[in-house]
Structure 1
């Protein structure tokens, strides 16, 4: 499945900001694999003294941002699984600020967060490799919008790229 086959009805407008960071000819599994390696390697280059830095009061530290990415991926994987298994009920949204506030990320080590990201993404890859083309196209409802597992997969990769850009531009 390549990104250019996604249609507007597969996900709400907000999420296209993440999806559009991925090239049109990008295949989903390969994108997730390469994105995992690229983002993990990028995180390893961040100097130790920058992980707790905040570029202004009230903004997340890099520790919190990486924990946010991990939490978000877990939630998106659950959503993709629910849709692929024909869950009929709508799935709720989540308040990412509350999750970060309660994450205790400031007491984590960068190496631990990097390892956890890789582990969560590996689980994601197993899930996506198990889904047929038909299952990737199943529509579900999350946070009061339509979504498909394949759109969610590209969102996860684009979300990591978005935060890589934020880290590069605001923290380093």
Structure 2
């Protein structure tokens, strides 16, 4: 699948995520992004990954956990809609998920292992889809959304967080053992 979703296939507030995804084969994009994310984060110490750029913001560990949880949820939505299940799917409160998960107590290594496992599962799911599956639509968080929009949202969401990591975390003068 190479064609990006049209603006009628997702809520307008996801447009920024869609704009962040380059043209290309969706499977290749997922695999390349996994390598980028792993390369970006695998060398971090637990001290570095416990950094938040300001009070009330997530630590890098919490962001890794958030990326993984969000992909889990979006993959479930993708699966449900691709299989023709018309059950309306709920939204989720990302801050509550992060707070309940206690990602800060985990190691970077364990967080990245979860991330990689979830990404491998997502890639396997996306690879299994037929042409007709990509255009199916369903309801998630009170909005109509297509299978292909969900796949692009996963990619765009992660690219959004890469940008935040570079601009707000790694570029901060307060970042421990600054690696920039």
Q: Please indicate the TM-score interval, normalised by the length of the shorter structure.
A: over 0.9
Distance across 1 between alignment mates of 2:52 and 2:36 = 23
Aligned to 1:151: 149
Gaps of 5+ in 2: 171-180
CA distance in 1, matches of 2:115, 2:32: 14
Deviation (angstroms), 1:47: 4.8
Could you say which residue in structure 2 is the equivalent of 1:20?
19
> SS where residue 171 of structure 1 aligns?
helix
* 3-state SS of 2:35 partner: helix
Write the distance in 2 (CA, Å) between the matches of 1:2 and 1:78: 21
TM superposition shift of 1:48: 4.2
Q: 2:94 aligns with which of 85, 93, 96?
A: 96
| C-alpha distance in 2 between matches for 1:39 and 1:3 | 24
Question: Contact (CA 8 Å) 1:19, 1:154: kept in 2 or not?
Answer: yes
CA RMSD of aligned residues (A): 1.2
Q: Check if 1:32 corresponds to 2:30.
A: yes
Give the number of aligned pairs.
170
Query: Aligned match of 1:121 in 119, 125, 129?
Result: 119
CA shift for structure 1 position 115: 1.4
Say if 1:29 and 1:129, in contact at 8 Å, map to a contact too.
Answer: yes
Identify the match of residue 58 of structure 2 among 56, 60, 65. 60
> TM-score, length-normalised on structure 1?
0.94
Q: Match of 1:57, SS?
A: coil
| CA deviation after TM superposition for structure 1 residue 7, in Å | 0.8
